[in-house]
Amino acid sequence: MKKLSRQDLWSLEEYSERRTQFRNEVMAHKKHRQVALGDHARLYFEDPTTIRYQVQEMLRIEKIFEGAAIQEELDAYNPLIGDGSNWKATFMLEYTDPEERALALTRLLGIEDKVWVQVGDCAKVFAIADEDMDRANDVKTSAVHFMRFELSVSMVAELKTGAQLQMGIDHPNYPLSAVTVAGPVSESLASDLDAVSIN
């Protein structure tokens, strides 16, 4: 997928005028970019639209308008956009009660390495988590992780031709059967990938 450049961004003034409409568009777009994994875990898949929104919001909040500082934000966020052979996602453990969340983060230590996707009958692809920094320690995991799912050429080809997409978590303290991803979500994720001939 195409990375963002300064030409893809609006000025602070223009973004202020367009913000409400753009936010509504992004929220609608994001509905087809997320997968619930049970009651307390969710994957939010990033793409140029979701990342553009994050960058524009950051520039707005920090009132950043100088070219070099804008480029710094782009350099920080662009790695979160997939490369055509992978998906990049934010994984969140969602517990509203602080005490329940604290207990869960201890119980679910290592869960970030047990999240997987599967295309058709191919082997599961487990997430490569937190390449930018460690977000867990020896006693608990984090509520937020950044993940990359690297797919083979044959997996991409199968997905493009309608193979079933499933996702899940293989952690003993978070029992979850596979979740089938279909319809607009599957189509949106498949569109992130570059079709490559396997002949």
For 41-92, write each residue's pLDDT tens digit: 999 999 999 999 999 999 999 999 999 999 999 999 999 999 999 999 999 9
Distance CA 15, CA 53 (A): 10
Q: Do 91 and 189 have their domain in common?
A: yes
Same domain, 123 and 169: yes
The answer to whether 87 touches 117, Cβ cutoff 8 Å, is yes
Name the residue type at position 157. Answer: A
Nearest to residue 80, comparing CAs of 115, 112, 111, 45?
45
Within a 10 A sphere around the Cβ of 65, how many other Cβ atoms?
Answer: 11
Neighbours of 10 (CB within 10 A): 16
* Pair 112, 41 in one domain: yes
Is 21 inside a domain boundary? yes
Q: What is the pLDDT of residue 137?
A: 75
Both 118 and 146 in one domain: the answer is yes
1 and 58 fall within a common domain:
yes
Give yes or no: residues 131 and 166 share one domain. yes
**157 contacts 196 by C-beta, under 8 angstroms:** yes
In this model, does residue 170 exceed pLDDT 50?
yes
Mean pLDDT of 107-129: 96
pLDDT at residue 199 is higher than 50? no
Question: What is the mean pLDDT of the segment spanning 4-10?
Answer: 96
Task: For 83-101, give the DSSP string.
Answer: -SSEEEEEEEE--SSHHHH
Percent pLDDT > 90 in the chain is: 88
**Polymer length in residues for the chain:** 199
Instruction: Give the chain's mean pLDDT.
Output: 93
The pLDDT of residue 196? 59
* Cα–Cα distance, 75 to 31 (Å, whole number): 26
**Do 21 and 95 fall within a single domain?**
no
For the segment 140-151, the average pLDDT, to the nearest whole number, is 95
Determine the pLDDT at residue 40: 96
How many domains is the chain built from? 2
Give me 187's structure tokens.
């189509």
Instruction: Supply the CATH number for residue 160's domain.
Output: 2.60.40
C-beta separation of 189 from 164 below 8 A: no
CA atoms of 199 and 191, how far apart (whole Å): 21
Residue 15: CB atoms within 10 A of its CB come to 15
Asked if residues 87 and 37 have their Cβ atoms less than 8 Å apart, the reply is no
Q: Look at residue 131 and tell me whether its pLDDT is greater than 90.
A: no
Q: Is residue 3 part of a domain?
A: yes
| Whole-structure pTM value | 0.89
Residue 199 lies in a domain: no
Q: With beta carbons less than 8 A apart as the criterion, state whether 35 and 117 touch.
A: no
H/E stretch holding 27 reads helix 12-30
Question: Do 163 and 129 fall into the same domain?
Answer: yes
Cα–Cα distance measured from residue 68 to residue 63, given in angstroms and rounded to the nearest whole number: 13
pLDDT over 90 (residue 136): no
Domain holding 120, by residue range, is 37-45+85-194
Is 76 among the domain residues?
A: yes
Whether residue 138 is predicted with pLDDT greater than 90 in this model: the reply is: no
